[in-house]
Chain A
Amino acid sequence: MMVGGRDLLSRTRRLYLPLAAFIVLMLFPFYWMLITSIKPNRELYSAKIMPLIVHQPTLKHYIDLLWETNFLTWTYNTMLVAVVTTLVSVVIGTMIAYPLARMNFPGAAIVAIGIAATYLVPQPLLFIPMSDIINRLELGNTLTAVMLTYPTLLIPFSAWLLMGYFKSVPRELEEAARIDGASRFQAMARIVLPLCTPGLLSAGIFCFTLAQNEFLYALIFLAKSEVRTVPIGVVTELIRGDVFYWGQLMAGALLGSVPVAIIYSFFVDYYVAGLTAGAVKN
């Protein structure tokens, strides 16, 4: 398996070239977002100027985005919704996963199957009835509408992911605590949950990125600019008819991606653990 320096040609062919191809393919759209957002309109809408680099960078699109649109409001809404729904979903996900992973009780099997099913039911199956329900609750154009509906996507995932972590804590630890007089709740809060911190972090980061990514419910429920989230605001308001404000659009797309990218870069290992556990473990 080891490849020595002598075989540079083979290593180039098997590693460097395909790796470079993957990196270029995967990252080019982000590069394109960045340079478009700092190009002056003169360069953006000219067929003659070489488009792959920026000749005279400008921050005009960013300034316009922040001052002339509701982008900051959308960012605030997105963060608020993502933080609230993540916290709620991890707490409720924990409350579902803990008994399923560690207790014997009547109805456990049915609940477990139900959670798996709700995880796999795709949103397009639910959004039309959901819109009617939200209308009847008179929650249209409120952030409450999305705070109420996002957890339907996040709780089953968190529960699914956390069950694996909770199962991995040895029963003896918990039993020892209970013999010392700890209640079931105390054993959970002081023994099992602290040992599952990586799982809780994984679930939290995953929920946060999913909440930032959500589009369909936000599109349906949030029709007023002041309550919109970043993806909806960018797609519905920055694209204006046939006249495109590409610089501003790209600035919005880029800034809108930054919170997720930052959180992700700090916790990439937890994210990958959540990804593989959610899809790979059962």
Chain B
Amino acid sequence: MAVGPATLARPAPAAGRPVTLRGLLEREGVFSWLMLAPGVLFLLAFVAYPFFYGIFLSLQDRRVATEGVFVGLANFRTLIHDAVFWQVTGNTLKYVAVTTVLKLTGGLAMALVVNQRFRGRNVVRAALLLPFIVPTALSTVAWMWILDPTFSVVNWLLVHGGLISSGFSWLGNASLAMWSLIVVNTWRGMPFYGITLLAGLQTISPDLYEAAAIDGASTVQRFLYVTLPVIKPVLIIVTMFSVIFTFGDFQLIYALTHGGPANATHVFSTWAFDIGMSAGLLGMGAAVALAILPALVVLIVGLTIYLRRE
């Protein structure tokens, strides 16, 4: 069908006319590929090539400003015998899993609250999304000060509220530091869930709720049997996206803790940075970065299959 109009509008060159540039450009395939070429070539050069080059680097003993030596899987062998690697794996999984649960439940609650009718709703919606749009490194700096060991306002509130007698070292204590990161990531990412889920909620017709109410459904039942089924696709897609991007999170952790204290908050991205950039071990750094690939492939394939089925 799409080929039809083109051949109708432009007589084929076989009708005795020479192939003109214009005639060529009107062909769907030629036009499409001319349009695509710059972008596709660019992405091949700066996404596909670095990706495969990264795999190549991970098989080398390669230090910055030196020639690499092919070492096969030696980097990966070193990694699986390194206790820090397993610590970083645990940190990454905890960071992704806990923040996802918090962002999802908090975001859903936010969406349900904002979905009610009230004056100034658009302004509130815009304001609630601010943590998500402001450059992360900059808002993280504000959190550093909020969690400062000496002048933390959280500590001030807790001490003056009589809840504790002396303040916590939010970023200096190994287990607290991870929880601090989780709180900041949740703060930043929850509005993303909230606002996208709100858009999902707004597609639900009020008739459905009325019908359910007439049938005697309670608030909880209405949520479980009306709201949830309708927003389930949005919920799943938003969560998958968020998980993929949280796996790749770097700047929040780098700015807040640098992976410290004593590797307690290192995730794959920040550890790969330390090894590859700070220590200049490009091969080993590339191997660390690739460690997120299996989880990522599972997520992306899962997402693709889900999108296909929808």
Q: Is A62 an interface residue (CB 8 A)?
A: no
Q: Check A93 against B39 for contact (C-beta < 8 Å).
A: yes
Query: Does the CB pair B138–A234 fall under 8 Å?
Result: yes
Residue in B3, B126, B191, B196 whose beta carbon sits within 8 Å of that of A280 in the complex: B196
Contact of A275 among B192, B276, B304 (CB under 8 A): B192
Across the interface, do B126 and A29 meet the contact criterion of CB distance under 8 Å?
no
> Does B191 contact A96, Cβ atoms closer than 8 Å?
no
Asked if B181 is at the interface (CB within 8 A of a chain A CB), the reply is: no
A57 within 8 A of B: no
Instruction: Give the residues in chain B near A239, CB-CB below 8 Å.
Output: 141
A96 contacts which of B28, B39, B118 (Cβ < 8 Å)? B39
Interface size on B, residues (CB 8 A): 104
* Contact between chains at B145 and A126 (CB < 8 Å): no
Asked whether any CB of chain B lies closer than 8 Å to the CB of A191, the reply is no
Q: What are the residues of chain A within 8 A of B247 when measuring CB–CB?
A: 122
Q: Are B286 and A253 in contact (CB under 8 A)?
A: no
B19 at the interface (CB under 8 A from A): no
- Asked if B47 contacts A152 (CB within 8 A), the reply is yes
B26 within 8 A of A: yes
Query: In the bound complex, how far is the Cα of B241 from the Cα of A107, in angstroms?
Result: 26
> Which residues B254-272 have CB closer than 8 A to chain A?
254-255, 268-269, 272
Q: A1-B206, A14-B116, A183-B22 are in contact. Are A128 and B277 (CB under 8 A)?
A: yes
Tell me what chain B mostly uses at the interface: helix, strand, loop, or mixed.
helix
The reply to whether A15 and B116 contact each other, CB–CB distance below 8 Å, is: yes
Answer yes or no: A23 CB below 8 A from chain B CBs.
Answer: yes
Q: Which residue of B lies closest to A175 (CB)?
A: B5
Could you list which residues of chain B lie within 8 angstroms of chain A, going by C-beta atoms? 2-3, 5-6, 9, 22, 25-26, 28-29, 31-33, 35-36, 38-40, 42-43, 46-51, 53-54, 57, 109-110, 113-114, 116-118, 122, 124-131, 133-139, 141-143, 145-146, 148, 150-151, 153, 156, 187, 190-192, 195-196, 199-200, 206, 209-210, 234, 237-238, 241, 244-245, 247-248, 250-251, 254-255, 268-269, 272-273, 276-277, 282, 285-286, 289-290, 292-293, 296, 300, 303-304, 307, 310
A-B contact pairs, 6 of them (CB 8 A): A1-B210, A93-B39, A122-B248, A148-B46, A155-B43, A280-B234
Which residues of A are interface residues toward B (Cβ below 8 A)? 1, 3, 14-15, 18-19, 22-23, 25-27, 29-30, 32-33, 36, 44-45, 47, 51-52, 92-93, 95-96, 98-100, 103-108, 111, 114-118, 120-133, 148-149, 151-152, 155-156, 159, 171, 175, 178-179, 183-185, 209, 212-213, 215-216, 219-220, 230-232, 234-235, 239, 244, 246, 249-250, 252-254, 256-257, 260-261, 264-265, 268, 271-272, 275-276, 279-280, 282
Known contacts A29-B187, A279-B192; 7 additional CB pairs below 8 A are: A18-B113, A23-B127, A122-B247, A127-B273, A183-B25, A212-B135, A252-B141
